Amino acid sequence: ASLTSPTTQFLEGIVDFNPNHAGYVRTLQDGSSTKTSVAGIFACGDVSDAIYRQAITSAGSGAAAALDAERWLSEEGLGNEAAEFEAELLAELLKDGDTTKDGANDSSATYNAYAEASGVGRKESINAMGSEL
């Protein structure tokens, strides 16, 4: 956190400012939220905290702003489309997945690749070849 006034001039005329602290963005619900007077704009840290102005409080309010922004984006249908696609694809693959050797989709009869192994590892098979020479 800095000891100077926040750089918020670019927000003048866009969001409401705190009437008690010049230059500080006003957050809704008496500071218990990072929402501003404009939907989709969130304020945290030095631009909204005229009292504490500490790095640790800025970090905490930054985390809160990130969560508020993520929630707002989700409510607006603007979530992470790539992650949503991956989740849907994975769910479909798991639903239709064939995990058995014979093609049956019985979860109690899953295929175990180790069950077919001869029980002899590479080192043992090399040693066996050496003794035959």
Q: Which amino acid is at 70?
A: E
- Structure confidence by residue, pLDDT tens digits, 47-92: 999 999 899 999 999 999 999 998 999 888 887 778 888 888 888 8
User: pTM for the full model?
Assistant: 0.58
Higher pLDDT: 121 or 59? It is 59
Q: Which two tokens stand for residue 130?
A: 């050496």
Looking at residue 58, its pLDDT comes to 93
* Within a domain: 46: yes
pLDDT over 60 (residue 99): no
- Structure confidence by residue, pLDDT tens digits, 23-57: 999 999 866 899 999 999 999 999 999 999 899 99
Cα dihedral sign, 10-15-19-24: negative
The domain tally of the chain equals 1
* Within a domain: 122: no
Can you name the residues that pair with 17 across neighbouring β-strands?
A: 25
24 lies in which domain range?
1-98
